[in-house]
Structure 1
Amino acid sequence: MKKNYDALARQILDQVGGHENVGNVMHCYTRLRINLKDRGLANIEELEKLDIIGTQFAGEQLQIIIGNEVNEVYNAFINLMGMKKEKVIEEKPNRDIPRKQHTIRSVIVAMIDGIVGCMVPILPMLIASGILKAIVLLIEKFGLATAESSTIIMLSFVADSAFYFMPVIIGGFAAKKFGANIALGSMLGAALIHPDFVSLVTEGTSLTIFGLPIYSATYSSSVVPIILSVWVMSYIEKFISRYSPKSLRALIEPVLTIIIMIPLTFSLLAPLGAMFSVGFANALTWFYGTFGMIAVAIFCAIIPWVVMLGMHVGTVPISISSIAATGIDKIMMPAFLISNFAQGAACLAVGIKAKKADLKSLAFSSAFSNVVPGISEPGMYGVTLRYKTPMWGSMIGAASGGLYFGITGVGAFSFLPPNIFALAGYVGSGEYSNNLLNTIIGIAIGMVVAFVATMFMYKPKMN
């Protein structure tokens, strides 16, 4: 029976505190992400009774796990909000709600929420870029065209454009996320990769603005510098807007905002973001270099918990930075890939051993969902986590496959969703000519171990 998405959207809206309690809403591959003004108004107990997989909070953001049909529910929810003629929802503070104290946890959660809000909208672009890169590799691998072919050149630069112009694109979405002017956010991103600025930096020319030194760095393919800059810009823009004469606001607000943001961005914020990105990448490199295959195995095992905390989208900038800097991601993308396949194998084992027909159906469909479209939440919340031992089985399998990944240095050359089609992004050449073969072997190890471990540990009588 086809699900009534409009009815489900209405039920969700009623249980999250109504229209007035919704700040904004977005979605990833499986979750409806609603920023609430007061999380205390959300009736989680009633929400859990609806036709959804589960719920969880990340700060003030309520994440409603829908599964593969999240896009339909999201569209219905947005249409429902549109009936109120508020397509663009302003996050105005509720004065009746007491101001909450900031803690280290709340600050970290807010940072993750900010990054996720900026990254989720660009995932289709990254996927398209990754698939194009994979197509180019396959065409060249099978000798269908040479690197000098006009078709290859066109496909390559279109795919690369997603990464090169990333600050421009993220600048616009970051502005939307933080309530700033979208055009100004994009303009700030464009300034960071302007050809003249890139040339001057490459030539080692010393630059200043209003007497302040400008940090020499290139920002193409970067994420954190523009997000940090636009976040600060949102406050400056609102401050200028508040104190500008209404008759001159359209002129004063954009000009003053950009003039103030030029030194802030180029002398302070973008360099800080770049240093943070480099520092994190160096820390990850150190972790990988120090612990090697053990580091990969551990990360592969804990991926389900990263997903459960809603932090999986937050790992996208790390993968992007790694691919942009070195051409390969040996931790993030491989870990998500092996984790999904191991969870699929664990679900398959549950489906075989389960006594109840409805659980068999859920387990088998979840196994398919994990491997083919790469959606792990239905199986994770409906099977592995629910019955505990399958989760342990999948983690043991993922760690085993991850250990092989670490030994052989498996890595992803493109950003692709962790499913069976992502294997195209593991086709390498030269020193990585065996990368795809090792990827398949690692997946096979992970799935076999996860299947056997789950068959051994899972007891149907526990249902």
Structure 2
Amino acid sequence: MTQVQEKNTGLRILQGIMKAIQECMIPVIPLIMAGGLIKVLIIILTLCGVLPSGSQTYTILSAIGDAPYYFLPFEVAVSAAKYFKLPALLPVAAVGIMFSPDFLSLFSGGAVSFFGLPVSDVTYSYSVLPIILLVWVMGLLYREVEKRLPESLFNFFGQMLVLLLSSLLAVIVIGPIGNGIAELIRAFVMWIQSVNHVLAEICFAVMFPFLNMCGMQWPFILDAISTVGLNGYEALCIISLLCVNVSQGGACLATAVRAKDKKRKEQCFGMGITAVLSGASEPSTYSNFRYKRPMIAALIGSAAAGLYAGLVTVRAFSFVPPAAASILIFMDVQNAMNLVHAVITGLIALGVSFAAGMILGFDEPEADNAEV
């Protein structure tokens, strides 16, 4: 195999992994967003004096908001089962073993083994990668067992064998491997923050549009979701996404103002407003990338906003695509300035990217000027 073939094979494998993560996570994101918005509602009610902190009502609402994060593995298991074409309840049962009180209690007594094989003490709450790996392996086992057993035996023994083998592989091999990958990503994020938090914020703000276009943003988004679940806040990726979403929208709005073609004006205006308000910046990103100079303008806006956010250390307390409509995810009961800094970050992203877009302009082709 030549180096080019090896490179193409490696690229296809990487694309396949990213596609699997994306397809497994897309159905789960709205549920996580719902939990995040409930947590925002709790903060608002607490600040307004309607909901006393520490009350039973507060605890119940908090449990509702935290549930999509804590039970994320079950949600991912159902979504991954659909993607890998498995009976949905089979992966749910395997994930349930990882949350079984009897299983978890084993680790309170020290080292745990299964017939001499070590079983690692892995925290599966808020985890995603170990679950996707588990369901993928379960799918391979399911089809292999189904192929080798007669239908009558498969219906009786098949799922039992798949559940037994995949569950053992999960707690002995897959779980630790998936958790190790997640920890490496988290270690990288923490390392780049420890080197220089301001520089890290700028780098991520500039890097995310290209990660999005390549479909490689998911490992960092998964880490951000897990970090919110574990720590209650996140201070890098979600803030970088705020810079990216608003700046891409701002550059697209500048293109709308400068464009001569009416249809392009309408399209760019719609994409820009959507990105700024809702955080759905992909259409703006592709439009800006096509015309090159608007993308440069957006990157300038992202870098400027990332610089400010890094200097003041903005924190996000829920995972919702950050934009104007979801700005309250930055509300901090103990630090009112955090929300103010988030608003300023968004305004910098919008203002700088729009101004840069107006200055840089773009080349408007005549042959296809009806398309964006």
- Corresponding residue for residue 48 of structure 1: none
**CA distance, structure 2, for counterparts of residue 347 and residue 224 of structure 1:** 34
Alignment of 1:20-35 (within 5 A): none
Counterpart selection for 1:159 from 65, 69, 77: 65
- Residues 32-63 of structure 1 show CA distances to partners (whole Å, capped at 9, x for unaligned) of xxxxxxxxxxxxxxxxxxxxxxxxxxxxxxxx
Counterpart selection for 2:86 from 180, 188, 201: 180
- Corresponding residue for residue 312 of structure 2: 408
**CA distance, structure 2, for counterparts of residue 132 and residue 196 of structure 1:** 32
Counterpart selection for 1:391 from 256, 272, 295: 295
- Residues 409-436 of structure 1 show CA distances to partners (whole Å, capped at 9, x for unaligned) of 1121101023222211111133x44211
SS state at 2:125 partner: coil
Work out whether residues 353 and 460 of structure 1, in 8 Å CA contact, stay in contact via their aligned partners in 2.
no
Alignment of 1:12-411 (within 5 A): 103-201=9-107, 203-382=108-287, 384-411=288-315
Q: Structure 2 vs 1, CA of residues 142 and 363 (structure 1 numbering), >3 Å: closer, same or farther?
A: same
Matched residue type, 2:338: N
Work out whether residues 19 and 215 of structure 2, in 8 Å CA contact, stay in contact via their aligned partners in 1.
no
Query: Which sits farther off after the overlay, 184-193 or 452-461?
Result: 452-461
Matched residue type, 2:360: M
**CA distance, structure 1, for counterparts of residue 343 and residue 125 of structure 2:** 32
Instruction: Tell me which protein shows more strand as a share of its residues.
Output: 1
Query: Which sits farther off after the overlay, 269-278 or 319-328?
Result: 319-328
**CA distance, structure 2, for counterparts of residue 433 and residue 287 of structure 1:** 27
Work out whether residues 294 and 403 of structure 1, in 8 Å CA contact, stay in contact via their aligned partners in 2.
yes
Work out whether residues 333 and 415 of structure 1, in 8 Å CA contact, stay in contact via their aligned partners in 2.
yes
- Residues 121-168 of structure 1 show CA distances to partners (whole Å, capped at 9, x for unaligned) of 111111101101111111112222112333322221111111111112
**CA distance, structure 2, for counterparts of residue 323 and residue 380 of structure 1:** 26
Work out whether residues 35 and 66 of structure 2, in 8 Å CA contact, stay in contact via their aligned partners in 1.
yes
- Residues 245-280 of structure 1 show CA distances to partners (whole Å, capped at 9, x for unaligned) of 222211211111122123211111101111211121
SS state at 1:208 partner: strand
Q: How far off is 1:302 after superposition?
A: 2.5
Counterpart selection for 2:341 from 433, 438, 444: 438
Matched residue type, 2:169: L
**CA distance, structure 2, for counterparts of residue 282 and residue 312 of structure 1:** 16
Q: How far off is 1:204 after superposition?
A: 4.2
What RMSD in Å do the two structures reach over aligned CA positions?
2.1
- Structure 1: stretches of 5+ with no match in the other structure: 1-99
**CA distance, structure 1, for counterparts of residue 363 and residue 153 of structure 2:** 71
Q: Structure 2 vs 1, CA of residues 122 and 461 (structure 1 numbering), >3 Å: closer, same or farther?
A: closer
- Corresponding residue for residue 76 of structure 1: none
**CA distance, structure 1, for counterparts of residue 188 and residue 109 of structure 2:** 27
Q: Structure 2 vs 1, CA of residues 179 and 460 (structure 1 numbering), >3 Å: closer, same or farther?
A: closer
- Corresponding residue for residue 3 of structure 2: none
Q: Output the TM-score relative to the length of structure 1.
A: 0.74
Q: Structure 2 vs 1, CA of residues 195 and 355 (structure 1 numbering), >3 Å: closer, same or farther?
A: same
Q: How far off is 1:314 after superposition?
A: 4.8
- Structure 2: stretches of 5+ with no match in the other structure: 1-5, 367-372
Matched residue type, 1:376: S
SS state at 2:27 partner: helix
Structure 1 stretches of 4+ with a deviation exceeding 4 A read 459-463
**CA distance, structure 2, for counterparts of residue 461 and residue 129 of structure 1:** 43
Aligned residues: 361
Q: Output the TM-score relative to the length of structure 2.
A: 0.91
Query: Which sits farther off after the overlay, 373-382 or 294-303?
Result: 373-382
Q: How far off is 1:102 after superposition?
A: 7.1
**CA distance, structure 2, for counterparts of residue 244 and residue 310 of structure 1:** 38
Instruction: Tell me which protein shows more helix as a share of its residues.
Output: 2
2:360 is aligned with 1:454: no
Work out whether residues 292 and 362 of structure 2, in 8 Å CA contact, stay in contact via their aligned partners in 1.
no
Matched residue type, 1:437: V
- Residues 309-334 of structure 1 show CA distances to partners (whole Å, capped at 9, x for unaligned) of 23344543121122123322222211
Matched residue type, 2:291: Y
**CA distance, structure 1, for counterparts of residue 255 and residue 8 of structure 2:** 43
